Structure 1
């Protein structure tokens, strides 16, 4: 009998220890920060209020409505221009640490250039920033999130190297006016996306151009130069007094195992997907595989030059090291495999990679959003290994549906992805220091219009007041934030 009690005592101790360990693994580390985010064109509305100028998304939605899934615009969107104080209260009630928002270039510089500054536009962002601070919420400011002034696009937009100078002039205004209140700046959001889908496609993102399969390379090239110029400006002129940090933000897709997925195909996928933007910053210059493949395929296409521009040594050195953190947006993964058509001498994609998927995978309302938390962990470990484990901020992660208030699938997505992130931190030493829910509000989802909604707060787009209301994920996140621990996914008898 004595042995029985000893055995039971040991068993209970083991079970208790396992339970405690599980709780620890689902708990945010000390000092870890959780926030939420938005982007100016997606939420502000007030597209022609005061002296705001026309931006590329104003022009795009007004002139090419057939490209937007429901023919809608961001003219009113969530009307956050007028309802920002209510938005701030939602962030406060959620208990979040920070709110990431972006500044609309054309609201601050109506004609695109720094010779004309809108005091009304600046005041809006000052008011929003101050409201956040007054409520104990850290403002995180994205200087550019895809909505540059249309006049600059008429002059070539991001394919014109002068955009580097124009962006720097704009960034200086933001540093001068908002910098005293802001401790974290993001120079540019996702150059890979607006460059690939805006300058190498007519059907996805503004400005909707295809430019000889090289517009996206010119766009990224100039975006990296603009980022580095703003970084050095902040470093040289503002950091000492403002004591902030600054970096760029890139989207990276993850990967999961599958037939024909190899270490080599994963590496090639990573360099074209993530390294294209971050290699010049963390290592210096574009990845060798990217330079070599684009040059070789350009030659096969009889171009007398590579479609990928070449950085001078001066620019390589100037761009290298220009970030204080790794800014990551992540949503989904695939099975990257080599394009076997190349064995027949057929080259249809510069990367040489097909992002294979499985029809059994769960998706959000966005057809591209496969729910694969495992891929998130794989990506975080790859970033750790490729770039010497930099401090990493997840600045977007989220799930789309069609606006359900009882959004069980969104909660399930967050549980899986955040669990994977916490495992990467606790088990694998990944230096993730912050996580951002995308997004605070249901909003205008670019070419999907209002057909794909990412918010943890509902917005009634049929209401002139754009009424906000809580979803199931709102209360779930409130509990997660208050306990700093992941909560179980609520049960739903109707779920399959």
Structure 2
């Protein structure tokens, strides 16, 4: 009971609204920048030896899955325009740039039998350009774009993926590790596993609900842990880098102060963020996940839990395999306990037994899943800090969409200001948050939504063969913020 009372108390002291913008400077050491992903911006889908990945296959073989039958064959053409992009980042004033490496550009078949030097050269040149402009690379090793040959043998639910990923990561560390100090093994693994193997929201669009997402996660986490140990053994003494994983989650606000609803809200976050963060910190899945999935599996007639079990050796090897945690936060939900006595649904979304909804007064965006709830930022940062013993946290994605009809994106300015204020509030709370990279540097290919949803600071004209970049109004705001590290007028800003 005391845990529930403590959680309710924490909700009260953190508050439920952004009443004012924090006027304290961000520390000089705090990493500030923007983020992108390879498949969403690079284009050059089949140039210079790059192999086919699962999103290439989807866009070309089943284009109806993508809004307006669009694809990322050219996207923002950053493969050819990376110097222009770095110049924009330099002008913006970022201290860090988060981008991802395309597995298929490095290993066209997904295997070590073919290493593509031209692909390696591209990332070497990009990193060199960033370093020459005093911008720290924050590199994601895998951001959803699995090589198609590896999907052809089952993808992440096949445990052969573990060794393939470690081999790929070794090539990445060997070629780029001397110049990269911050690594992210996986971006939003919940979307890779839940979206790709259960919910039909992401490539490879396989429906194995209630089973596939758990098998995918189990192997992905093992791949992460083995990569961490491989880095420690082979590279850390020389390269001195930091290894993390980026996990997306909502903040879940209890529908009421009733114990059942407060527990349900926490349980939902355990089923999202905890699903991945708990194993890499504590060695195993959250107890509440093991309990709920196990009980439901038994009632459904399974001989064992649909949530796989780690062996004692795997638990030992999984524990403490991150140097920092990445957090992608965009929105919040209201959460209430779901009375599910039958427990018939075989699905991750039902296993948590939580009902969620948006409050009608929360502002909408161009994305149906994204309501503007800035006070959730401070709360989720406090939750992560409390549950994972003060590990360093980097907010690796945070942003808002609009439809691209105007460059006067005041909604984005307000969104960034209010969410960054929540980050600064969290610093005041003692949360060990060390960086923030806004999503996104520029409009890009937003997966199944194609080019219909715009998250960029810079507009990209996808009808122009040159893919012209044009600053939106938010660039001026972000540039001023990065220069002063203040969210208010500099004369009203106080030292940290």
Question: Match of 1:491?
Answer: none
Cα distance in 1 between the residues matched to 2:209 and 2:252: 30
State the Cα RMSD in Å.
Answer: 1.5
1:56 is the counterpart of 2:57: no
Decide whether the 8 Å contact of 1:476 with 1:487 is kept in 2: no
Decide whether the 8 Å contact of 2:252 with 2:269 is kept in 1: no
Q: In the TM superposition, what are the counterparts of 1:292-307 in structure 2 within 5 Å?
A: 292-307=291-306
Cα distance in 2 between the residues matched to 1:324 and 1:345: 38
Question: Match of 2:207?
Answer: 210
State the SS of the aligned residue for 2:193.
helix
Question: Match of 1:279?
Answer: 278
State the SS of the aligned residue for 2:68.
coil
Q: Deviations over 1:66-114 (max 9, x none)?
A: 1112211111000000000000011100000011110000000011101
When residues 309 and 485 of structure 1 are mapped into structure 2, their CA distance, relative to the original with a 3 A threshold, is same
Q: Deviations over 1:457-480 (max 9, x none)?
A: 110001011000110001110011
Decide whether the 8 Å contact of 2:99 with 2:140 is kept in 1: yes
| CA positional deviation for 1:487 | 3.7
Consecutive aligned runs of 4 or more in structure 1 exceeding 4 Å deviation: 343-348
**Alignment equivalent of 1:227, drawn from 212, 224, 227:** 224
Cα distance in 2 between the residues matched to 1:97 and 1:363: 31
| CA positional deviation for 1:407 | 0.3
Question: Match of 2:10?
Answer: none
Q: Deviations over 1:226-262 (max 9, x none)?
A: 1111111111110110111111111121133534673
| CA positional deviation for 1:383 | 1.1
Decide whether the 8 Å contact of 1:26 with 1:419 is kept in 2: no
| CA positional deviation for 1:267 | 1.7
Decide whether the 8 Å contact of 1:400 with 1:453 is kept in 2: yes
Q: In the TM superposition, what are the counterparts of 1:108-257 in structure 2 within 5 Å?
A: 108-202=106-200, 204-257=201-254
Decide whether the 8 Å contact of 1:186 with 1:247 is kept in 2: yes
**Alignment equivalent of 1:36, drawn from 9, 34, 37:** 34
Decide whether the 8 Å contact of 2:393 with 2:433 is kept in 1: yes
**Alignment equivalent of 2:413, drawn from 411, 414, 421:** 411
| CA positional deviation for 1:369 | 0.6
Question: Match of 1:330?
Answer: 329
Question: Match of 1:372?
Answer: 373
Stretch deviating more after TM superposition (262-271 or 478-487): 262-271
| CA positional deviation for 1:23 | 8.5
Aligned residue-pair number: 464
Decide whether the 8 Å contact of 1:36 with 1:96 is kept in 2: yes
Decide whether the 8 Å contact of 1:108 with 1:117 is kept in 2: yes
Question: Match of 2:450?
Answer: 449
Question: Match of 2:487?
Answer: 486
Q: In the TM superposition, what are the counterparts of 1:334-483 in structure 2 within 5 Å?
A: 334-340=333-339, 342-343=340-341, 349-403=350-404, 404-426=406-428, 428-483=429-484
When residues 299 and 46 of structure 1 are mapped into structure 2, their CA distance, relative to the original with a 3 A threshold, is same
Cα distance in 2 between the residues matched to 1:407 and 1:238: 44
Question: Match of 1:319?
Answer: 318
Stretch deviating more after TM superposition (301-310 or 469-478): 301-310
Question: Match of 2:9?
Answer: none
| CA positional deviation for 1:24 | 6.8
Q: TM-score, normalised by structure 2?
A: 0.91
| Structure 2 gap ranges (5+) | 1-19, 490-496
Q: Deviations over 1:352-401 (max 9, x none)?
A: 11222122211221111111111111111111211112111111111111
| CA positional deviation for 1:139 | 0.9
Decide whether the 8 Å contact of 2:283 with 2:317 is kept in 1: no
Decide whether the 8 Å contact of 1:192 with 1:250 is kept in 2: yes
Cα distance in 2 between the residues matched to 1:484 and 1:308: 44
State the SS of the aligned residue for 2:267.
helix
Question: Match of 2:265?
Answer: 266
Stretch deviating more after TM superposition (251-260 or 91-100): 251-260
Cα distance in 2 between the residues matched to 1:367 and 1:412: 19
Cα distance in 2 between the residues matched to 1:238 and 1:291: 35
| CA positional deviation for 1:402 | 1.1
State the SS of the aligned residue for 2:51.
coil
Q: Deviations over 1:267-301 (max 9, x none)?
A: 21121011110001112200111011111111222
Cα distance in 1 between the residues matched to 2:438 and 2:209: 37
